[in-house]
Amino acid sequence: MIMGSGTIVQNLANEGLIEEYVFFVTPVVAGNGNPLFKQVRQFGLTLKETTAFKSGNVIMRYELKNIRTVPL
């Protein structure tokens, strides 16, 4: 599990080394920040599971839809 490191995620994703993505979403608009997938090849994801909490937070688990990637 990698938390809070966009650079490592980008490198591993581009090499096809991530099989599952888990996103923890908190309903807050920050207005700025670094995009997580700015330098990542395009790939499809399939939603496998969601968990919603009374606080509004949501956990979403995705798996790769296919291995085909598109060059940057």
pLDDT for 60 beyond 90 = yes
Beta strands in 1-72 (DSSP E): 20-25, 45-52, 58-64
Give CA–CA dist 3/7, Å, rounded: 11
pLDDT for 5 equals: 67
pLDDT for 14 beyond 60 = yes
Quote the pTM value.
0.71
Q: Binning pLDDT at 50, 70 and 90, where does residue 71 land?
A: low
| Choice between 48 and 65, residue whose per-residue pLDDT is larger | 48
17-54 residue pLDDT tens: 888 889 999 988 877 877 777 778 888 889 999 999 99
